[in-house]
Homo-oligomer: A and B are copies of this chain.
Amino acid sequence: MHALKLFGHYDSGHVYKIMLFLELANIPYDYEQVDIWIDKADRQTEFLKFSRNGEVPCLLIDGLPYIQSNLILYKLASLYKIYGGESAQRLIQALEWQFWEANRLGMCLPQLRYAKLIAPDEFNADSLAFLRNRFEVDIAVLARHLSDDRKFILDDKASIADFSICGYLYWADEAGVRLPRQINNWLERISRLPGWRSPYEMMNKASQDTH
């Protein structure tokens, strides 16, 4: 049994990835919201001590801070030996997809949503077109991978690869992108896992609860 405290915000799909793991695995944790729409320097002092760049998610495990959503997922899978952490071989397969996410889908989809929903003035048509083009390339790679009979990214069991990659995809509408059929079917399968809730539902609830 480990003491977990998650710092997050309901507008972060990266935070959602971590919550999916914890809620689906039914692991208790404390939650504290950090206002990501104020200057980094103005966020909680305790939080800034732990999160080097003032970013969420930050997870304390027995008092030690972990940052970077994919690193946190990897650490949780290793620690609890589930969702990819069952064996070294499965963990490395999951890690490969997490690096793919960090470098590809995770660097266009969050930005497209941010541009559409939150700060349209920060993006002009050409930089949006650049990001949208990247997204189309990346989502096609993923759709092709999901075109065989597998249920989830690695095999027929959900893993941190799924949690990592799906993080922002439930917000496709908010990002102004359309998803291929294979992607929607896979998101639907994740959403039928016991304990699943949509991003806002899960994260708004966490803000109100004491876990």
Contact = CB atoms under 8 A, between A and B. Distances in A.
A106 B96 CA distance: 15
A98 to B, nearest CB: 8
Interface string A88-126: 000010011011101100110000000000000001111
A37 to B, nearest CB: 17
Nearest to A107: B107
A167 B22 CA distance: 35
A68 B100 contact: yes
Contacts of A100: 68
- Copies of this protein, total: 2
A96 B67 contact: yes
Contact of A71 (B92, B124, B125, B141): B92
A16 interface: no
Contact of A96 (B66, B95, B103, B130): B66
B126 A53 contact: no
A159 interface: no
A1 B77 CA distance: 29
Nearest to A104: B107
Contacts of A83: none
A75 interface: yes
A98 B125 CA distance: 31
A109 to B, nearest CB: 12
27 contacts: A52-B145, A53-B141, A66-B92, A67-B96, A68-B96, A68-B100, A68-B103, A70-B99, A71-B92, A71-B95, A71-B96, A71-B99, A74-B92, A74-B95, A75-B92, A98-B99, A99-B99, A99-B102, A103-B103, A103-B106, A103-B107, A107-B107, A123-B130, A127-B127, A127-B129, A127-B130, A130-B130
Given A66-B96, A68-B96, A130-B130, 13 more contacts: A52-B145, A67-B96, A68-B103, A71-B92, A71-B96, A74-B92, A75-B92, A103-B103, A107-B107, A123-B130, A126-B126, A127-B129, A127-B130
